[in-house]
Chains A and B, each alone.
Chain A
Amino acid sequence: MSLLRLILREIGRRKLNFGLGLFSIVVAVGSLVGAVAMLRTHDLRTREILAQKEADLKKAKAELEDDYRKITVRMGFNVLILPKDQNLGEFYSESYASKLMPEDYVFTLAKSPIITIQHLLPSLTQKVKWPEKGRTIQLIGIRDEVPVSHADPKKPLQQPVKPGEVVLGAELGESAGLKAGDKVTLMGRELTVARIEKPRGDIDDISAWVDLKLAQELLGKPGQINGILALECNCAMADLPKVRAEITRILPDTQVIEKSGIALARAESRFRAAEEARKDLEREQRNRETLREQRERLAAMLVPLVLAAAALWIGFLALANARERRTEIAVLRAIGMRSSQILWVFFGRALAMGMTGGVLGCAIAWIVGVAAARDLFLGQGGNESVFDIGVAGIALAGAVAVSALGGWIPAWIASQQDPAEILREE
C-alpha cells in the first residue's frame, strides 16, 4: 500500500469531484494553449494573406502596366524624328512632314549604340485623296518595328500591317460601311480590311494604315520615310535634350521633337500603381497588426482570469473533498500517518489533477489546433506550426502550478485537522 495508490483509489471513488477539477484545468490549459495558437495562427494567416496580396498586387500591377502600355501606344510616342529641313509649323498644321528622309536612317539608328531608345517605328505619312471613296484621308505606311541591335528584344508596341491589308480609322470604316475581312480598293489597289480601329477622337479616325512598301509605291516615294517614331526607355525620366543630342549625333540630318507628357504620364502611372500597391500592402499589414494587438490584449486579460478561476475552483473542490474526508483523515492519523503524509495525500491529488488536466488540455488543444489549421490553411503545412510543443510544456507546468496553488491550502487545512476532535464527534 502506498500513498500514490491511496490517491488513485480515492480519485476513482470520487470521480465527479475530480472530474470537475479536471475540467477546469482542461479549460485553463485549453485557453492558454488556444490563445497562443490563436496568435500563432494569426501570424501565419497574416503571412499567407500578405503573400497572397503581394502576388495579387504583382499580377494586378503587371496587368495595369500592360494596360498603360497599350493605352499610351495609342496616344503616341515619346519622340518623333523628322527630316532636319522640315518646317515644324507646317508639320503641326498638316499633322505630317512634307520633307522626306531615307528609310535607312532607321537602320542606322538601330545599329548605333544609342541607349535611350527602346522602340523604332519608321513611317511614311501623307494626306491623300481616296479616289474610290471621293474623300481625303491620311495614309500611313508602317512596318514592323526595327529592333535596336544592342538592346534586349522588346515586345512590339504596334502591330505591323501585313502586305495586302489595310487598317482603317473608326470614322473611315464606319462611313464606308466596312468591317474586318471586307475587300476595299485604295488608290487602285485591292486590299483586305484587317481591322477597324476604335474611335480615338483625333486624325487617326480618318487614317488608313498600310504596309510601308505599299505606301511608298502608292505615294511614289520608294525607300523614303518622313518620320521615325521612337519610344524612350520606360523607367527613365531621361531629359529630352540628352535624347535629342544622342539621336542628332547619329543622324545629323534629322530633328527631334518631343511627344512628351505621354511617356512621363506612363511612367508616373506605373509609379502610382506601384505606390498604391505598396500602400495597400502597408495598410493590410497595419490592419493585421492592430488585430493582433487586440487579440493579444484579449488573451492577456482572459488567460489569467481563466487560470485564476480554475485555481479558485480547484481550491473550492479540494476544500469540499477535504471536508468530506474528515473522518478518513482522522483515521489515517490514528493509524500513524504523519501530517506531512496527509498533506501529500491531498496535494498529490491536486497535482494528479493538474498533470492529467494538462495532458488532456494539451491533447485537446492539439486536436482542435490541427483541425483549425486545416480549416484555415486548407493544407497540412500549418499543423505543427500552430501547435507549439514548448507552449504545451509551459501549459502543462502551468496546469500543475494552478492545481498546486488551488490545492495547497485545502491540503494544508486537511493535514492540520485535529483527529481527536473528529473522532470524539464520531
Chain B
Amino acid sequence: MILQLDGVSKSYAKAGARLPVLGNVSLRLDAGDFTAVEGASGSGKSTLLLIAGGLLAPDQGRVLIGGQGLYDLAPDRRARFRAEHVGFVFQQFHLIPYLTVQENVMAPAMAFPGEGLTRRAAELIERFNLTGRAHHTPSELSIGERQRAALARALLLRPGLLLADEPTGNLDTGNAETVFQAFREFADGGGAVLLVTHDARATAHARSRLRLAGGQITPIV
C-alpha cells in the first residue's frame, strides 16, 4: 500500500457556516496504480490532493503513506517525509521563475539533500528532452517544456506517490500524451499516481477512475 485515506472528511468555514467538501472519503492506492479522480469544479478534487500530500490536515480521518500516518508527524517532519515520498505536479507548473530548468529540477534537494541527485537531475532532464534547455529559465520555455520540467522536479527524489492536479489542463495533445506516458511509466516502475482532472484524455491512460461529487468518491466503471 502506498496511499490510504480512511474516512477523511473536510469542510471549510464560509460566512460563519461550515461548507463540507469531503465526507468520509476512503481511498487506497497501491504500487502500480494510476488513478484519475474526476469531478466538477469546486467538488473538492484539489482538497483531496492536498490532504493526500500532507499539506492540508483533514477534519476527520487518517492519511497513511507507506503505512505512516501523515498527520501524526510534526509539521517539519511531515515536510521532510513529503519531500521523500510525494511528488507534486500542478496545472500551472509552479516552476520557480528565477531558477533555470536544472535548478528547478534540483529544488527538492534543498528539502532533502542526498548524494547523486545532480546526476539524477541530468537523467531526468535528458529523459524529458530538456537537455538543450537545462540552463534556461521557465519564461524561456514552451508550455510543454515547463510541464516536463515540473514533472522532472516531482520525480527527482524518487517518490512513491505522485499527486497531479490538472497537469494537462494547459497542454496540447502531444505534450499531454508525454505527461500521461510519464505517469504510466512511473506507475509501472512501482509508484502510484493520483491524478485529479477534467481532461477526458486522461481516461485512456488511467488504470482506474473515480468520481468526486457531493463530497463522496465513487468508482467509474
Contacts and interface: CB of A to CB of B under 8 A. Distances in A.
Contact of A6 (B55, B56, B99): B99
A331 interface: yes
Contacts of B157: 336
Contacts of B99: 1, 6, 9
A42 B98 CA distance: 48
Nearest to B95: A331
Given A335-B153, A423-B50, A1 B103 contact: yes
A108 interface: no
B94 A327 contact: yes
A234 to B, nearest CB: 85
A423 B55 contact: yes
B111 interface: yes
B98 A13 contact: yes
A342 to B, nearest CB: 10
A1 B76 contact: no
Contacts of A327: 92, 94
Contacts, number: 90
A426 B93 CA distance: 11
A337 B108 CA distance: 8
B94 A9 contact: no
Interface string B84-109: 10101010101011110001001111
Interface in A305-358: 327-328, 330-341
B121 to A, nearest CB: 9
A424 B88 CA distance: 14
Given A12-B98, A336-B80, A426 B90 contact: yes
Most buried by B among A330, A331, A336, A424: A336
A203 interface: no
Interface in B100-144: 103, 106-112
Contacts of A423: 46, 50, 55, 90, 165
Contacts of B153: 335
A2 interface: yes
A352 B83 CA distance: 27
A118 to B, nearest CB: 90
B123 to A, nearest CB: 16
A291 interface: no
A190 interface: no
A420 B110 contact: no
B82 interface: yes
A333 B80 CA distance: 10
Given A331-B94, A426-B90, A339 B75 contact: yes
Q: In this complex, which of A6, A340, A420 has the most chain B Cβ atoms within 10 angstroms of its Cβ? A: A420
B98 A336 contact: no
Given A1-B106, A419-B55, A336 B50 contact: no
A341 B103 contact: no
Contacts of B111: 332, 335-338, 341
B47 interface: yes
A340 B76 contact: yes
A10 B110 CA distance: 15
Contacts of A331: 88, 90, 94, 96
Contacts of A12: 98
Interface string A358-375: 000000000000000000
Interface centre among A1, A3, A331 (most CB of B within 10 A): A1
B53 interface: yes
Contacts of B103: 1, 5, 9
B96 A2 contact: no
A2 B90 contact: no
Contacts of B213: none
Contacts of A426: 90, 92, 94
A338 B98 contact: no
B108 A335 contact: yes
Nearest to B53: A334
B79 A328 contact: no
Nearest to A13: B98
B79 A333 contact: yes
Nearest to B156: A335
Contact of A338 (B50, B79, B97, B165): B79
A328 B80 contact: no
Contact of A1 (B55, B109, B165): B109
A1 B79 CA distance: 18
Given A3-B110, A328-B96, A335 B55 contact: no
Contact of B107 (A13, A335, A420): A335
A422 to B, nearest CB: 10
A9 B101 CA distance: 13
Contacts of B55: 333-334, 419-420, 423
A331 B84 CA distance: 15
Given A9-B99, A424-B50, A426-B92, A337 B79 contact: yes
A421 to B, nearest CB: 8
Contact of B98 (A3, A10, A420): A10
Given A6-B110, A334-B53, A424 B46 contact: yes
Most buried by A among B46, B47, B80, B96: B96
Contacts of B75: 338-339
Given A5-B103, A6-B99, A336 B90 contact: no
A328 B96 CA distance: 6
A173 B111 CA distance: 112
Nearest to A327: B94
Given A337-B111, A423-B50, A424-B46, 7 more contacts: A1-B103, A1-B106, A328-B96, A338-B75, A338-B79, A341-B110, A420-B56
Q: What are the 9 tightest A-B residue pairs by CB atom distance, in nearest-first order? A: A336-B83, A13-B98, A336-B111, A420-B56, A1-B106, A331-B94, A420-B55, A338-B76, A420-B50
Interface of A: 1-3, 5-6, 9-10, 12-14, 327-328, 330-341, 419-420, 423-424, 426
